[in-house]
Amino acid sequence: MAGLIRFFSEATNVHGQPDALTVGTFGPADLDPDSESYGHITATPKAGWAQTDLLGPLRKALGGIPAVFETDVNAALFGEASSGAAKGLKHTAYFTVGTGIGGGLMIGGDLVHGSGHPEMGHMRVSRHPDDKFEGACSFHKDCLEGMACGPALEKRWGKSAEELPADHPAWEIEAHYLAQACLNVLMIAPPERIIFGGGVMHQEQLFPLIRKKLSELSNGYLPLPELDGFVVSPELGDDAGLLGCVALGRQLLRDQERIGQTKGS
Ligand code: ZN
């Protein structure tokens, strides 16, 4: 935190005071502006971070400027929706598959929070019939993240995602789990597009496998969109979160301006 505050102090000296601050954070985090612990990381197992006020000290260091507090996955989703793979769409889901699995959801142009925020990485999934791996999630063992995150691949096969060849049976099993994530989201709030990012998704052979599995799982129940354009990779790469934070800050300022105008009139 001290390093972040120092960074902002030095950057402000060079570039001037920013108009807004957006924090796209790991979770679980309190995103409810009416809550006493708004802006805090909550019950994380990450050492030293539980119940830490993340937003407050940063905002204070920047003179109390308008601020947005959002999950890192939702921020990346907002970036893709603003200027990437979901530009112009109103309903989009985003999964990042790496050291863990995170999920974000945008419905009607708004990021979905619920009473907390989505934890779609921990949704329940059915086991692949050939998969005997116990699961890597420290809370649930064989949830989506437990079966399909990068460390789950490595524990199951003894090799990291990058080391497994493209024709390895690992990918059919991986697609089995990721396609279930797509189907579950489709059944809750059908998006127009589902974006899969993160280190594991650099394995591009996964995309056609996920589409095929999704079609099999759906089994004709829902009229699926054209799948090539439905399950896609991100366009903004590692910049999605940063660009999403910029777009969220701009949206906040626009909203505040509009409210100010309404009050003025
Ligand atoms: Zn879990």
Q: What does the mean pLDDT of the chain come to? A: 94
- The DSSP string of 105-167 is EEETTEE--TTS---GGG-B-PPPTT------BTTTBSBHHHHHSHHHHHHHHSS-TTTS-TT
CATH topology match: 2-72 vs 74-238 = yes
Architecture of domain 2-72: 2-Layer Sandwich (3.30)
Mean pLDDT computed over 242-256: 96
Tell me, in angstroms, the distance from the centre of ligand 1 to residue 104's CA.
16
pLDDT at 145 over 90: yes
The set of residues, in sequence order, having a beta carbon less than 8 Å from that of 232 and lying 6+ positions away, is 85, 193, 194, 195, 196, 207
So what's the pLDDT on residue 261? 84
The CATH number of domain 74-238, selected from 3.40.1260.10, 3.30.420.40, 3.40.50.300, 3.40.50.1220: 3.30.420.40
What is the CA angle 226-166-140, rounded to 5?
80
pLDDT at 248 over 80: yes
Tell me, in angstroms, the distance from the centre of ligand 1 to residue 136's CA.
8
Q: pLDDT tens for residues 130-143? A: 999 999 999 999 99
Tell me, in angstroms, the distance from the centre of ligand 1 to residue 260's CA.
43
Q: What is the pTM of this model?
A: 0.92
Tell me, in angstroms, the distance from the centre of ligand 1 to residue 141's CA.
6
Nearest Cα neighbor of 193 from 117, 90, 98 is 90
Tell me, in angstroms, the distance from the centre of ligand 1 to residue 28's CA.
13
**Rounded distance between C-alpha atoms, residue 98 and residue 241, angstroms:** 15
Q: pLDDT tens for residues 11-46? A: 999 999 999 999 999 989 999 999 999 999 998 878
Tell me, in angstroms, the distance from the centre of ligand 1 to residue 56's CA.
29
Tell me, in angstroms, the distance from the centre of ligand 1 to residue 100's CA.
9
Tell me, in angstroms, the distance from the centre of ligand 1 to residue 17's CA.
40
Tell me, in angstroms, the distance from the centre of ligand 1 to residue 101's CA.
9
> Which residues in 194-213 are b (16+ Cβ under 10 Å) and which e?
bbbbbebbebeebbebbbeb
Tell me, in angstroms, the distance from the centre of ligand 1 to residue 262's CA.
45
Q: pLDDT tens for residues 106-118? A: 999 999 998 888 9
Tell me, in angstroms, the distance from the centre of ligand 1 to residue 20's CA.
34
Mean pLDDT computed over 206-227: 91
Domain boundaries, the chain: 2-72, 74-238
Amino acid at residue number 176: H
